[in-house]
Amino acid sequence: MDDISVPPPEVSTSATEHLTYDEVASALDGLTPLDLARLDAIERRYLGGTDFAEGDLLQEAMCSALFQEKRCPRITRFIAFLVQSMRNIAGHRRDRLQQQVPIEDVTTGERKSKFELEASGPSPEDAAIRAEQDRAASEVCAALNVHYGADEEMSMVLLGWENDMRGETLRDFLGVDQARLDYVIKKIRRFARREYPKGWRR
């Protein structure tokens, strides 16, 4: 009897560019206590204006990744992907809550109109600046991965900067002292000057 071999199923280019379910599950299992502490710190920055309880936003981002509702590109560090997911989920929730008129402010218990809630949020100009900063930092992160591999400290500094962390907050986020933080920042600046002589915003 002839041996009939069955060709392997074709894998789409899109599938190979993103983490699979098993890889996401492994990445979630591999999060260290320090990773989780960092994610908790960032989550608290996004809770304002939402009805999420502490811990819920991070859980939403993890479930979204696990069930492939949002897919993590292979070139993106998994912790950075979770941060971006939390930011997006929180933003969408604020948008939905702002459609309810009036709505109770979850932080003060006061009832506010849609206009008041919108006025307390970022302006279109601020949102545009933030988007450009995120794009630039993500671009540098990708370049860092190519040239240095997964440099944990440089990646974490960039991630902290994306989330407006400076000084003590940034040191705590990385778990380093000021001397080490200064050293890592100098590495990033040397790399950026070499790879982006005209600046990150090309």
Q: Count CB neighbours of 158 within 10 A.
A: 20
pTM of the model: 0.60
pLDDT digits (tens, 9 = 90+) for 88-124: 899 899 888 888 755 455 555 555 544 344 444 455 5
pLDDT digits (tens, 9 = 90+) for 142-165: 666 565 555 778 878 888 887 778
Distance between CA atoms of 201 and 131, rounded to whole angstroms? 12
